[in-house]
Amino acid sequence: MASHGITRADMAAVNLPRRRVVNRLMEGFTALAAVIGVALLVIIVWSVAKRGAHALNFDLLTKTPVPFAIGPVKQGLANAFAGSLVLVGLATLMTVPVGILIAVYLVEYARPSVRSGVSLVLDVLNGIPAIVVAIFVYGLFVVGHGQSGWAGAFALACLMLPLMTRSTMEVLLLVPNSLREASLGLGVPRWRTILSIVLPQTIGGITTGAVLAIARVAGETAPLLFTSSLVGTHVSWTPTHALQSIPVAIYELSESPDPADHARAWAAATVLLIFILLTSLAGRWIATRSRRRISTSR
Amino acid sequence: MTTLDAAETRRPFAGRRVRLGDLSLQVVAGAAAAASCVLVGLIVWKVIDGSLPSIRVNGPAFVTRVAWNPVLGHELYGAGSFLFGTAITSLVALLIAAPLAIGIALYLTELAPRLIRGPVTALIETLAAVPSVVIGLWGILVLGPILRDHVEPALHDALGWIPLFGPPSSSGSSLFTAIVVLTIMILPIVSSISRELFLGVPRELREGALALGTTRWEMIRGVVFPYARGGIAAAMILGFGRAIGEAIAVSQVIGATVGIHWSLFSGGDTLASKIAESYQGGTTKLQVASLIYLGLILLVFSLLMNVGAQWIVRRVARRQGVGLNRGGLG
């Protein structure tokens, strides 16, 4: 197959009409592909929102599920909302400082070989399937101790860490070296230079990284299945035992035969989608703003 | 050289005195970096450790054996049917997604009017941000019934002589539904990596080709594709890796059956979805260990694929000076 290089036949001017037709066809195909891509998003979001809007009411946030409900009982997923808040919050608290430290080490201290080695490890960590991370945390914490919010949050943190580190590294690399040199030249020690000159420049980028990582794991189900899924129906804020979460709740409700459960699953999915879309947008907005600041300060 | 060294040591403030602050920041940050490497090692070790009881009983024969019988006394486990399910769903999904994704990337880099380029790029990336459980919910309640009632009968009527297109499924849960769901999930990943690759093709090469009188498609085929070839391969490997590791959405739509069925419209299971379905607890120690053994197989595949893809990406990046490491970050 002559997949590269332009052959003589291709260039023969006699075939110009045919070449134009081929060109048109391929251009049409790429445009069609783009239409399909956008249409898929629109269809999914629309069909979730359409079904979710029916069941979306205040009860969803304030009431707890009623097991084996007969007839129209007012119930919601308050326990899942509370649990997701705690799980994602704890995971963020675990990830952000560690991610920043790793990025600082790799950008400011590490030799190039160490840097590329560790970033390969982080890429590999990013590629490990979430369900395998769940098995790992299950073996590490759950066997013998039982499920807990801590275990679930730790599993989420494993998925957030490579994202957080990568985005922090990217902004640290954007900080102009002249800034570091100016500070070091004034006799400021290296650690003070990093903590009070370099890092403040990157707060925007680090926030973006954290927000995007939150948007990414807020919808993760797999890591929580083995670590924080066997739960009661009451609202709980303590991570020492298993906490319900929105993704796990949707997963369980989607497998139920009861249409009322499906309605609540759609409503929860709508809330989750809105949350994720808003956080991604916010992340991007912060990113463009802070990038503008770094480029003007240069 | 020696005189230079001597001069340096005589400089008033430049002594290599170790500052406590410097040392502690470097040690703490270094420890964090080391911890991330330890974490990956620990994951590998824990998964091996957890599957040991099953490895001892079943040995390597487990990998290809088609069986999953948790009945006490008749326990027999094997990964064969799940490996088959993983391979067929991921490969077909990649087969559908790859041309579409490359088409999208080409449209966004070569054809799209400036005005719609930004919004369409953002929309495609948003598709990557939709959680898998939501796609699975949509897949089981909306997509599955549509495929069962309209698409599967049509395909069966037209192509029924190929064993892949057997009689339509009864529930809407089938390998085929899983394939469609996986296609949707890997499409934005492959397309966003390909887009970055195509953006890295030097302008003068494109313009040179066009100036020689090529059509736009000939320019793409003659200049853009050869330039981005390695990267496209890496993008596909990353997309494939994502597909084999997807547990939640697949387990919602695949119909959870054991055995090798050549019809795409029958149920099946993948390595990842089998693990996800069993979350409410295995009944015996051997069953739990066998589930973790499935995880070990999955881990080995994803490690191989990721290291392979990263190796290609790094080689390409070194040649072109493009940063391509944002694969799959949405």
- Per-residue pLDDT tens over the stretch B231-281: 899 999 999 999 999 999 999 998 888 888 888 888 889 999 999 988 766
> Is B122 within a domain?
yes
Percent of chain B scored above 90 by pLDDT?
51
Nearest chain A residue to B294 by CA: give it.
A132
B residues 20-49 lying closer than 8 A (beta carbon) to A: 21-22, 24-26, 28-30, 32-33, 35-37, 39-40, 42-43, 46-47, 49
For residue A180, give both structure tokens.
């570091």
For residue A87, give both structure tokens.
């799980």
Cα–Cα dist A61/A52, whole Å: 14
- Per-residue pLDDT tens over the stretch B61-114: 898 888 888 888 788 888 999 999 999 999 999 999 999 999 999 999 999 998
Query: Which residues does B308 contact at the CB level (< 8 Å), separation at least 6?
Result: B237
pLDDT bin (cut points 50, 70, 90) of residue B1 is very low
Residues of B in Cβ contact (< 8 Å) with A118 = 33, 36-37
Question: DSSP class of residue B283?
Answer: S
To the nearest whole angstrom, how far is the Cα of B63 from the nearest Cα of chain A? Answer: 17
Cα–Cα dist B13/A257, whole Å: 76
State the virtual CA torsion across A127, B179, A212, A249 in degrees, nearest 10. Answer: -110
Predicted local confidence at residue A142, as pLDDT:
87
B120 and A CB contact within 8 Å: yes
CB A180 within 8 A of CB A146: no
Provide the CA A35 distance to its chain's centre, in angstroms. Answer: 25
- Per-residue pLDDT tens over the stretch B15-36: 455 678 888 999 999 999 999 9
Predicted local confidence at residue B209, as pLDDT:
92
Q: Where are the domains of chain A?
A: 16-55, 78-297
Average pLDDT per 10 consecutive residues for chain A, totaling 298 residues:
53 73 93 95 94 83 75 79 94 96 94 92 93 93 88 96 94 91 91 92 90 92 89 83 92 86 91 92 84 61
CB B308 within 8 A of CB A130: no
Predicted local confidence at residue A94, as pLDDT:
95
Predicted local confidence at residue B187, as pLDDT:
96
To the nearest whole angstrom, how far is the Cα of B318 from the nearest Cα of chain A? Answer: 12
Predicted local confidence at residue A10, as pLDDT:
55
For residue A156, give both structure tokens.
């989420």
User: Which of B17, B134, B186, B187 is the best residue to mutate to test the A interface, defined by the most A CB atoms within 10 Å of its own CB?
Assistant: B134
> Is B209 within a domain?
yes
Residues of B in Cβ contact (< 8 Å) with A127 = 238, 241, 245, 302-303, 305-306, 309, 328
To the nearest whole angstrom, how far is the Cα of A25 from the nearest Cα of chain B? Answer: 9
Residues of B in Cβ contact (< 8 Å) with A104 = 25, 29
To the nearest whole angstrom, how far is the Cα of A156 from the nearest Cα of chain B? Answer: 13
Domain with B191 in it = 60-320
A216 and B CB contact within 8 Å: yes
Count of the separate structural domains present in chain B: 1
Predicted local confidence at residue B328, as pLDDT:
35
Predicted local confidence at residue A257, as pLDDT:
84
Mean pLDDT of B121-130: 91
Contact: B222, A194; criterion CB under 8 Å: no
CB B96 within 8 A of CB B176: no
Inform me whether the pLDDT recorded for B191 exceeds 90. yes
B69 and A CB contact within 8 Å: no
Cα–Cα dist A116/A200, whole Å: 25
CATH level 3 topology of A78-297: MetI-like fold (1.10.3720)
Q: If you write DSSP's letter for every residue of B28-93 in order, what string do you get?
A: HHHHHHHHHHHHHHHHHHHHHHHHHHHHHHHGGGGGT---EE-STTS-EE-SHHHHHHHHHHHHHH
> Is B33 within a domain?
no
**Which of A38, A40, A189 has its CB closest to that of B19?**
A189
Mean pLDDT of B214-219: 90
Choice between A260 and B123, residue whose per-residue pLDDT is larger: B123
Choice between B56 and B327, residue whose per-residue pLDDT is larger: B56
A45 and B CB contact within 8 Å: yes
pTM: 0.89
Residues of A in Cβ contact (< 8 Å) with B310 = 120, 123-124
Contact: A129, B298; criterion CB under 8 Å: yes
- Per-residue pLDDT tens over the stretch A112-152: 999 999 999 999 999 999 999 999 999 998 888 888 999 99
How many residue pairs bridge chain A and chain B with CB atoms within 8 Å of each other?
299
Q: Residue B241 sits in a domain of what CATH number?
A: 1.10.3720.10
Residues of B in Cβ contact (< 8 Å) with A45 = 130
> Is B35 within a domain?
no
Contact: B129, A277; criterion CB under 8 Å: yes
Inform me whether the pLDDT recorded for B13 exceeds 60. no
Contact: B222, A120; criterion CB under 8 Å: no
Nearest chain A residue to B327 by CA: give it.
A123
- Give the orientation angle of helix B20-58 with respect to helix A78-104, to 10 degrees: 120
